[in-house]
């Protein structure tokens, strides 16, 4: 794939994700930006990949900048709110992190397993009332999911 000068969109995305997982930040960002220029109609998908890329490399101010640009057009994206919470947690700003985590939850984010295993929030989980409340809600989502799985297996 690297040798081709004319990558198809899906191949370019695969290569950008490979670079991201391999820790090749510059190659991944450059390729993602190139894809964004050549495929503007896929802007949302590409921007979400870029946000994840910057999260992966702990470039939290850039994550916040990109998400805030997206939220101008769509304030109902629970995943963007969750990624914004992660970015603020990474910047050690628990008040903003909990605000956006609650926004994500209010928009339908009920992935208790994701939240429970997301180590970026570890330092905040027991620090304030709001964090204990969200922890309890996420534990409830996990319980409901497990009950649903058990009911379906009968």
User: How many CA atoms within 13 Å lie on the side-chain side of 127?
Assistant: 12
pLDDT by residue (tens digit) across 111-147?
777 888 888 988 887 776 677 777 777 777 777 767 7
CA distance 97 to 115: 12
Is residue 4 predicted with pLDDT exceeding 70? no
Q: What is the pTM of this model?
A: 0.70
What is the structure's pLDDT at 89? 92
H or E element in which residue 83 lies: helix 78-90
CA distance 14 to 127: 39
What is the structure's pLDDT at 28? 77
pLDDT by residue (tens digit) across 65-88?
989 887 877 788 899 999 999 999
Q: Are 98 and 67 in contact (CB under 8 A)?
A: no
Q: φ and ψ at 5, to 5 degrees?
A: -85, -15
């Amino acid at each position: 794939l690297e040798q081709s000068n004319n990558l198809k969109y899906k191949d370019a995305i695969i290569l950008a994700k490979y670079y991201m997982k391999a820790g090749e930040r510059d190659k991944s960002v450059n390729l993602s930006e190139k894809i964004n220029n050549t495929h503007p109609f896929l802007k949302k998908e590409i921007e979400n990949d870029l946000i994840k890329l910057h999260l992966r490399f702990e470039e939290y101010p850039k994550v916040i900048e990109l998400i805030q640009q997206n939220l101008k057009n769509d304030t109902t994206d629970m995943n963007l709110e969750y990624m914004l919470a992660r970015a603020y947690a990474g910047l050690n700003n628990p008040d903003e992190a909990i605000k956006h985590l609650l926004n994500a939850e209010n928009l339908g984010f009920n992935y208790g397993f994701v939240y429970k295993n997301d180590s970026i929030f570890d330092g905040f989980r027991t620090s304030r009332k709001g964090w204990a409340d969200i922890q309890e809600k996420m534990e409830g989502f996990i319980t409901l999911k497990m009950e649903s799985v058990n009911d379906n297996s009968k």
